[in-house]
Structure 1
Amino acid sequence: MVSWSDGSDSSEHTLEYMSSASDDGTIKVPASIEDSDFEGPETELHVLCHVHGKASERRVAFEGIHTGRRFLCCAEKEGKNCGLVEWIDPSWPNTLENALSKLWFMYEQSKRDRTEDNLMN
């Protein structure tokens, strides 16, 4: 896990790749939101994508139990998704993960209900 305050070199840290894959076998990078405090290319840790050779990009997750956690991912917009994901923030406590999971479930259920209502009317 990367820590901003320990001042250690990023080469000491292990890159984490997402374990969930889509139907076609590509690695999924979490959905993210814009955050002016944590965006753009990573310049301090010098984490490079081993596939594309580019500096990683800063993002804030907006998906499931990772919502709000900062992470680094491959900056390549076109071509093959290499699946590079390195979490900056530690995992949330279990109680918060459970709450986030429930909120996202409720959101998805609400979307399904609205879609069904629209189809019936």
Structure 2
Amino acid sequence: MVSWSDGSDSSEHPVEYVSSGSDDGRIKIPDTTEESDFEGLETELLVLCNEHGKAAERRVAFQGIHTGRRFLCCAEKEGRNCGLVEWIDPACPNTLENALSKLWFMYEQSKRDRTEENLLHSFAVHDLTQEKKKLQEL
């Protein structure tokens, strides 16, 4: 977790090194959405990941119960991401988390239903195409 400076540092911008809190040091970074008010590298807090020593990148989550929450993550684009995820916004109330969870479940179920429906339609089209070919041969 981030250990914010107590202000006793004489430099203008204290630098903090942060590592993820999982046992193996790897956390899947949530899917994100574009947010022009909160994007790019974190320059005010100068939070750095331990593994790469790079400034953290600002992002806004667009996944599950974390939808809309701002966070800092490893900015490594090449190679392996260290899994740094540090939440800026506090967790949502349980009622909102439950609502988001339900909405995402409904969305995923709708996606599965559409995929299954598309598959069934493709089988029907295939069968009709085969039948047309047989009729044309006669």
In structure 2, do the counterparts of structure 1 residues 93 and 8 end up closer, same or farther at CA, with 3 Å as the change threshold? farther
How high is the TM-score relative to the length of structure 1? 0.81
**Cα contact 1:18–1:29 (8 A) shared by 2:** no
Q: In the alignment, what sits opposite 1:67?
A: 67
Unaligned stretches of 5+ in structure 2? 8-12, 122-138
User: Where does 1:39-118 land on structure 2 (aligned, <5 Å)?
Assistant: 39-118=39-118
Partner secondary structure for residue 114 of structure 2: helix
How many angstroms apart in 2 are the aligned matches of 1:26 and 1:79?
14
Moved over 4 A (4+): 7-11, 13-16
How far the C-alpha of 1:95 sits from its partner, in A, is 0.2
Provide, for residues 56-99 of structure 1, a one-character-per-residue CA deviation record: whole Å limited to 9, x for no partner: 00000000000000000011011112110000000000000000
**Cα contact 2:40–2:57 (8 A) shared by 1:** yes
**Cα contact 1:74–1:84 (8 A) shared by 2:** yes
- Corresponding pairs, count: 112
Letter in 1 for 2:101: S
Tell which structure's C-alpha radius of gyration is larger: 2
2:20 aligned residue (1, 17, 22) = 17
Identity score, percent = 73
**Cα contact 2:38–2:58 (8 A) shared by 1:** yes
How far the C-alpha of 1:27 sits from its partner, in A, is 2.8
Higher helix proportion (structure 1 or 2) = 2
How many angstroms apart in 2 are the aligned matches of 1:57 and 1:117?
39
Letter in 1 for 2:20: Y
How many angstroms apart in 2 are the aligned matches of 1:107 and 1:15?
34
How far the C-alpha of 1:110 sits from its partner, in A, is 0.3
How many angstroms apart in 1 are the aligned matches of 2:65 and 2:19?
16
- Which region of structure 1 is more displaced relative to structure 2, 78-87 or 96-105? 78-87
Unaligned stretches of 5+ in structure 1? none
How high is the TM-score relative to the length of structure 2? 0.72
How many angstroms apart in 2 are the aligned matches of 1:34 and 1:116?
30
